[in-house]
């Protein structure tokens, strides 16, 4: 395949940045998107040019690091992670435009790499459970209905890639935050902090500069793990329930 790669290049957060176009030839349709980026970087390195910086780690669709905005869509044309996207999804001679996530809360570090530390701080604000030290309890010691366990697990599959933020016209982090609230709110182990968890995590989300949710559903539609909008409704209930309880104290 012959391709034209139009990539956002930016030296650092202070740099204005801009698109740079690179021709690329000899790309196999069996390559993953990140393997194509590796080939391009090898060519740039051989020419003595600075390679394109982009995030990646496991390349198995698990870690959420491969955050690229491809042809106007988070992670590209398929509802999957960038590392699981293959070049057969593109046509010979096509121009592919690659950008970093566009959100004030995700400042650009360099080129396609953004700082997603805001997600970490949201989790630190309340996405944890109190655990007594000691022996590990038996897995079946606390009975949990399968329906509840399955729904909690579905929420827990969020990999924190940030595609929901990139897809949202307001750069909202409601889907991410609600998934992290939901996975704990439904389980017995998460009840100790339940009344304060949603309040603290939403407060941190707002402090990070994420936008508001207007229920367009783009976040769930682009999420590579298919996190449901139901989690946002659940988080809102958790938040208002906590607020009412606080007012009554």
Q: What value, to the nearest 5°, has the Cα angle with vertex 96 and ends 95 and 102?
A: 140
Q: According to the model, what pLDDT value does residue 195 have?
A: 86
Please tell me whether residues 96 and 142 are part of one structural domain: no
Residues 41 and 148 both lie in one domain:
no
Query: Does pTM top 0.85 for this prediction?
Result: yes
Cβ neighbours of residue 32 closer than 8 Å, sequence gap 6 or more: 59, 83, 84, 85, 86, 87
Same domain, 97 and 182: no
Give me the pLDDT at residue 248, please: 47
- Are 42 and 147 members of one domain? no
Residue 32 DSSP class? B
Total domains present in the chain: 2
Where residue 59 falls (left for φ over 0; alpha for ψ -120 to 50; beta otherwise) is left
Same domain? For 211 and 92 the reply is no
Residues 200 and 134 in one domain: yes
At 249 the pLDDT is 44
Domain extent for 90? 3-110
Last residue of a domain, one of 110, 130, 151: 110
Give how far Cα 194 sits from Cα of 10, 18, 244, Å.
42, 45, 13
Indicate whether 98 and 123 sit together in one domain.
no
98 forms beta bridges with 7, 70
**Residue 73 maps to which CATH number?**
3.10.20.30
Mutual angle of helices 194-207 and 174-185, in 10-degree steps: 170
Q: What is the pLDDT of residue 135?
A: 72
Do the strands 3-9 and 95-99 form a parallel or antiparallel pair, or are they unpaired? parallel
pLDDT of residue 144: 87
Q: Are residues 91 and 167 in the same domain?
A: no
125 lies in the same domain as 103: no
Q: What is the CATH number of the domain that holds 226?
A: 1.10.1060.10
Residue partners of 155: CB distance under 8 A and separation at least 6: 178, 179, 180, 182, 183, 186, 227, 228, 231
150-159 pLDDT, tens per residue? 999 999 999 9
Q: Which residues of the chain have pLDDT under 70?
A: 133-134, 136-137, 139, 246-249
């Amino acid at each position: 395949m012959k391709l034209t790669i139009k990539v956002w290049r930016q030296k650092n957060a202070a740099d204005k940045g801009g698109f740079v176009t690179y021709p690329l030839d000899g790309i196999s349709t069996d390559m993953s998107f990140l393997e194509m980026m590796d080939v391009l970087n090898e060519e740039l390195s051989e020419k003595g040019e600075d390679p394109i910086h982009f995030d990646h780690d496991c390349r198995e669709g698990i870690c959420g690091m491969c955050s690229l905005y491809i042809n106007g869509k988070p992670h590209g044309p398929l509802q999957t992670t960038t590392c699981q996207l293959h070049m057969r999804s593109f046509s010979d001679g096509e121009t592919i435009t690659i950008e970093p996530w566009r959100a004030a809360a995700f400042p650009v570090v360099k080129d396609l790499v953004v700082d997603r530390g805001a997600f970490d701080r949201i989790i630190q604000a309340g996405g944890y459970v109190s655990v007594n030290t000691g022996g590990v309890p038996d897995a079946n010691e606390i009975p949990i209905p399968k329906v509840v366990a399955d729904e909690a697990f579905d929420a827990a599959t969020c990999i924190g890639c940030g595609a929901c933020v990139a897809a949202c016209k307001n750069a909202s982090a409601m889907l991410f935050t609600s998934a992290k609230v939901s996975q704990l709110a439904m389980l017995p182990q998460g009840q100790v902090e339940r009344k304060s968890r949603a309040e603290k995590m939403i407060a941190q989300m707002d402090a990070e500069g994420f936008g508001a949710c207007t229920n367009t559903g783009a976040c769930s539609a682009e999420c590579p793990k298919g996190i449901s909008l139901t989690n946002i409704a659940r988080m809102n209930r958790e938040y208002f329930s906590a607020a009412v309880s606080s007012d009554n104290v």
